[in-house]
Structure 1
Amino acid sequence: MPRLWPSRDRLRTLVLVLPLMATLGLCDDDHYLSEVLFCQPSNPSLGLLKMFDGDQMFGYNFDNNSISPWMNDFDNWRDQAFPNPSNISFLADLCNRFRQDLTEALIDITPEARGGTLVSVFTAHPLQMGKQNTLICEIDDVYPPALTITWRKNGKNLTTTSLPSNKYLVMNDLSFQAFSYLNVTPYQGDGFSCEVQVAGDNRTIIAFWVPQYPVPSDLMENVLCGLAFVLGIIFLLAGFVFFYLAKRLHNTD
């Protein structure tokens, strides 16, 4: 993760792994259940996520004090996601005070952590021209977790959104991952882009996607087999030529 030297009030994000850490033995493998709290000056200013290994189960919305399951199947356990809601405001205040104190203590001493954000775009379903599909913008190595995402079609703005805190995933290295989705009906000649801006970074990271007719796998297999056959004949003929020249040279001597 790239690091930059901070100026005053530049400790943008503080991530706390809360002491919920539990190890579960399932199928002879270790699995980890954890709660991750982050606080920062950027929007979202607070985030609280419950993670199982690398997957999010629940997110806490500080705007209305609600709990959002990552999947509908988790809704039955919504009330058990954060069993001590009275502690959440205390932990949020603690995180902000700790971040401010660290900012004052570490100015010009400790570099600021910053992700080397990577963006890619792909379809949710196999491409069919003129058929509805979904473009997925995958955003990796995000730090801090504060993004503005713009979708464009042929250079024209379609949507611009800022992700709420419960739309991020926490990776093992405490960087974040995020996804954005766009429903499209692609046609030949269209061009889409996902443009990502990270808070506190002057760069805009852009990933492009252009619909192209996929080459059928059986056609590709036939083409490769044909090329291999042709190359085999060429090398065989070349071998005969070199053998003839070498024998003629030997007879001359």
Structure 2
Amino acid sequence: MTVLRLLGYPVSNYVNIVRAALIEKGLEHEFLVTRSSQEPTFLQISPLGKIPVLETSEGALTETVAILDYLDDAFPDVPLRPETPFARARARQIINIVQVYVEAQVRQLFPGVFMGGENLATTEVAVRSMLDRAIAALARLLEPGPFLFGDRPMQADLFTFYNIDIADRVTRFTYARSIVEEIGGLAQWCAAMRARPSTGTVMAEFETSFEAYLAAHCAPYRPDEYKRSLSNA
């Protein structure tokens, strides 16, 4: 049997996507808490020094999309991609929009939200403009029922959930607006995703590690306020 070991930090949404995929597929694995690094030994398994890293019996893999495709190809019993070529392309379309036009955008605001720094007003304006377009696009594309491509989570669900979760925290803090509330049906889909055992396992460790991360960085963001906003939604 292929031995799988996931290296990553529980605060990383991309690490959490891979970890959730492993759990959803029922694959035995070891999770080793690891930070990104430019040390020569780490660069041997992660050429850019990034996480997540999935170690397999054939070697190490990085980049979340590549890792998830490998898991589906190597362990096809519980697929996380739709069956038809068109549905797979639609799923990848959603993943790309979420990664590039939502997560990568709000990441520019992390310093002033999660890291104790400040965000320029011009950056906040530019990010909001792109988010407006991305949210409108996702509102046209997403059809939760209860999940995006059937009766259980797939790759697109995992990418969307873990990226939208962090993005929603940023937009609530920065703009007093919620991506989840602005896309019809997404609140119910989020509830279905949070009810998954994989989400419970991953998010429990995320919350603990995230609180420690925020405290270490003297961040103005408060997780308790986000939890209260969810309960009042």
TM range (shorter): under 0.3
Using CA pairs under 8 Å that are at least 6 residues apart, name the structure with larger relative contact order, 1 or 2.
2
Q: TM-score, normalised by structure 1?
A: 0.21
Q: TM-score, normalised by structure 2?
A: 0.22
Higher helix proportion (structure 1 or 2): 2
Q: Compare CA radii of gyration and give the structure with the larger one.
A: 1
Higher strand proportion (structure 1 or 2): 1
